[in-house]
Amino acid sequence: MIFNIFKKELVDTLRDKRSVRMMVIIPLLVFPVMLNLFIFSSKKIEENQAEKIMHIGLIRGNSNFLTAKLKQLSNHKEKQLLFYKDSLQLIKALNTKKIQVALVLEKKFETKLKAFQPARVNLISNDTELGFSERMNSDLAQIEQQLKKERFQQLNINETTIQPLDIKATNIASTKEMIGKLAGGFLPYIFITFGFMGCMYPAIDLFTGEKERGTLETLLTVPVARWRLLVGKLLVIVVAGLISATCGFLGLFLEIEVFGFTAEPEIATLIHSILSFKFILTLYLLLIPLIVFIAGLLVPIAIYAKSFKEAQSMIAPLNFVIIVPVIIGFLPGIEYNWVTASIPIINIVLATKELIAGTLTIGLMAWSFLVMLSFAALAVLFSYKQFDKENAIL
Amino acid sequence: MIEVNQLTKVFDLTKKQRKELATSDKQTTAVDGISFECKPGRIFSLLGPNGAGKTTTLRILATIFQPSQGTVSICGINTLEQPQLAKRKIGFLTGSTGLYARLTPNELIKYFADLYGVSASDFEKRKEYLFTLLNMHDFQDKRIGKLSTGMKQKVSICRTMIHDPEVVIFDEPTSGLDVITAKNIIQLIQDCKDQGKTVIFSSHIMSEVDLLCDDLAIIHKGKIVYSGEMNAFRAEMQAQNLTAEFIRIIESSNK
């Protein structure tokens, strides 16, 4: 009987354009569209910035040592030097975007340089114009490097003598571990965000929607136990959440594989090595109770709400409540141990990070799974209590 | 056969409901110790103004709600003890019944037949009989959302009757329908009577009651204020017409 209910509700849900849009189309397209747009626009901005001539305003820069050095740089054609007498004029030029950066040299600039003292250069910029202060800093760094070398030669100092420590850092963590620990929380984030989105519309449609359309009353007169009706509907919500989350993953996979999000072959090979059958299976094993938990939280709200709008407005804050533990799981320094493995949602985020890093221990994973499963069972039980309430149901 | 004995239904009021009803009471009594009997082959009408307790009573009969006190027996089955068995005997249709707009009549009827446990052979026979009777073949594979109100009403009737119920409950079945569409429902109620089924329907339209019913009960503020045969009601009438008599009984019960 549960299968009959599940089958009918699934057909009904898959024929609802709004649910399909939220369940399949948006999760599938969001990454390819968003990331490609991001890559395209940042590339375009970078190109535009590189092509733009940088106008540099200088005070006390006429026939100066620094001016000469700037003109000697290989990229000197991409910049134009403009000389000012006072800082008021200089600031005005910056504000009117006549110049993008300004260099104010101290009065004894050249004297200090010659005396082997640090000579001050004030770099003033209007950073609402992206990229220019970075370009200027890079040029100044090049000039400083040259000056250092010249000073070492003039003072007859071997550069190594002023470097007392020769530090050689070795990171014994593999790239896989690094990705797992630092970016591993991203996968459950995708799963939970899209899973929630996928569950939301079917949950509202199958409970609040049925109430609004007057079909629930008829359904309650059929000789089928109320828990069976609930389980049949709940399964559809879980499947919708899983489809949505899977589409989110597929979208990301599509972005990496087809659109070549990462140009680094090492990273691409690493992603391929992570995405094994065993990995996907374990990931779903961890995430399925989480989706059941989400569905179990959504259903009582959908039962309680009297209209689609009311349900939507009540569910929106829940989204935030669920995302907060995901973000906590993201934070560096939050370790996966028996305490964090006992906190729902956070435990799944941390377990996924460990899974990607290849450091997941079976004991902690089993405990996290059991904890999440228990919370999912409680949420379903709460849904049943709400579905059985005469006051709420009609 | 429907036997209702000392039926009471008390609802707990939530804070929100108390605010909406502008009351400080934590509970409200929707049905207050009512008893009546509906016999096979006869049409029983439950009459009453809005908020009298008609829908609550019928929902208890259909086992959607559980009584706070009292008992309901459907074809000799106690609805509290064996609700699923009792439900198999019941067909339930309300005027506000919605249908699954994204399914076709064929899919919807099959779904409900499965829920009622109708065997495959019985389903085919019943479906053919009802589809022919209601002239539904032409639109059986169209999405319900695209059907006219009349067509939807036929699908509702078919859905109610697909498991050949012995007891049929109609809650204000013609409310909001035009006269042409309402005619299908009136016909269905008469057919049910002719087939020896037990029929109970709630209404506040006296012309419908006059046309159809054999027995009636008038319910007001959760209590039955009149109960008897329709012929006796007509004979004992003190007012000039049925509507006036109905209003007179309600008003006198207020005193």
Residues A17-38 have pLDDT tens digits of 888 888 888 888 887 888 788 8
Same domain, A307 and A238: yes
Nearest to A355 by CA among A344, A342, A341: A341
Instruction: Look at B84 and A224 and tell me if their CB atoms are within 8 Å.
Output: yes
Name the DSSP class of B13.
Answer: P
B151 within domain boundaries: no
Residue pair B154/B99 in contact by the 8 Å Cβ criterion: no
3-state secondary structure of A359: coil
| Least trusted range by pLDDT, from A74-78, B34-38, B154-158, B224-228 | A74-78
A322 within domain boundaries: yes
Interface residue ranges in chain A relative to chain B, Cβ cutoff 8 Å: 1, 4-5, 8, 11-12, 15-16, 210, 213-215, 217-218, 220-225, 390-391, 394
Q: What pLDDT, on the 0 to 100 scale, is given for residue A7?
A: 93
A293-333: per-residue pLDDT in tens? 999 999 999 999 989 899 999 998 888 888 888 888 777 77
Domain boundary among A129, A159, A189: A159
Q: What is the mean pLDDT of residues B121-138?
A: 90
Same domain, A195 and A145: no
| pLDDT higher than threshold 90 for residue A286 | no
B67 within domain boundaries: yes
Distance from CA of B147 to the nearest CA of A (A): 15
B143 within domain boundaries: no
CA A16 – CA A200 distance, rounded (Å)? 13
Same domain, A110 and A192: no
Same domain, A259 and A369: yes
Which residue out of A217, A226, A227, A229 would a mutagenesis test of the B interface target, given it has the greatest number of B Cβ atoms within 10 Å? A217
Burial of B58 (0-12, 13-18, 19+ CB in 10 A): buried
B9 within domain boundaries: yes
Residue where the block lists tokens 């349900």? A311
B191 within domain boundaries: no
Same domain, A22 and A64: no
Instruction: Look at A11 and B159 and tell me if their CB atoms are within 8 Å.
Output: no
Q: What pLDDT, on the 0 to 100 scale, is given for residue A382?
A: 93
Q: Give the number of domains in chain B.
A: 1
| pLDDT higher than threshold 80 for residue A271 | no
CATH number at residue B80: 3.40.50.300
| pLDDT higher than threshold 70 for residue A56 | yes
Q: What pLDDT, on the 0 to 100 scale, is given for residue A263?
A: 57
Range of the domain at A135: 54-159
Range of the domain at B8: 1-89+212-255
Same domain, A69 and A151: yes
| pLDDT higher than threshold 70 for residue B90 | yes
Same domain, A18 and A102: no
Same domain, A145 and A199: no
Question: Sign of dihedral through CA atoms B72, B76, B78, B83?
Answer: negative
Which chain A residues contact residue B168 at CB under 8 A? none
Q: What is the mean pLDDT of residues B182-211?
A: 86
Domain boundary among A125, A159, A193: A159
Mean pLDDT of chain A: 86
Q: How many CB atoms lie within 10 A of CB B43?
A: 25
Phi/psi at A81 (nearest 5 deg)?
A: -100, 130
Same domain, A205 and A299: yes
Tell me the pLDDT band of A161, cut-offs 50, 70 and 90. Answer: confident
A42 within domain boundaries: no
Nearest to B212 by CA among B237, B233, B187: B187
Q: Give the number of domains in chain A.
A: 2
- A and B: number of Cβ contacts within 8 A: 73
B113 within domain boundaries: no
Instruction: Look at A215 and B99 and tell me if their CB atoms are within 8 Å.
Output: yes
| pLDDT higher than threshold 80 for residue B175 | no
B134 within domain boundaries: no
Q: What pLDDT, on the 0 to 100 scale, is given for residue A183?
A: 67
| pLDDT higher than threshold 80 for residue B176 | no
Which chain B residues contact residue A15 at CB under 8 A? 102-103
Which chain B residues contact residue A12 at CB under 8 A? 100, 102-103
| pLDDT higher than threshold 90 for residue A289 | yes
Same domain, A85 and A7: no
Residue pair A203/A212 in contact by the 8 Å Cβ criterion: no
| Least trusted range by pLDDT, from A65-69, A304-308, A359-363, B113-117 | A65-69
A47 within domain boundaries: no
Same domain, A270 and A129: no
Same domain, A97 and A127: yes
Domain boundary among A112, A130, A159: A159
B252 within domain boundaries: yes
Counting residues of chain A whose pLDDT is more than 70, the rounded percentage is 95
Q: Which is higher by pLDDT, A59 or B179?
A: A59
Q: Up-side HSE of residue B144: CA atoms within 13 Å toward CB?
A: 22
| Least trusted range by pLDDT, from A194-198, A305-309, A329-333, A347-351 | A329-333
CA A285 – CA B108 distance, rounded (Å)? 35
A232-248: per-residue pLDDT in tens? 999 999 999 999 989 98
Q: What is the mean pLDDT of residues A55-83?
A: 80
Residue pair B159/A8 in contact by the 8 Å Cβ criterion: no
Name the DSSP class of A120.
Answer: P
| pLDDT higher than threshold 60 for residue B51 | yes
CA A217 – CA A220 distance, rounded (Å)? 5
| pLDDT higher than threshold 80 for residue A206 | yes
By C-alpha distance, the chain A residue nearest B144 is A12
Q: What is the mean pLDDT of residues A376-388?
A: 93
Q: How many CB atoms lie within 10 A of CB A327?
A: 12
| CA angle at A224 for the pair A218 and A230, rounded to the nearest 5° | 80
Q: How many CB atoms lie within 10 A of CB A162?
A: 8
Task: Give Rg (Cα) of chain A.
Answer: 31
Which of B14, B97, B102 comes nearest A218 by C-beta? B97
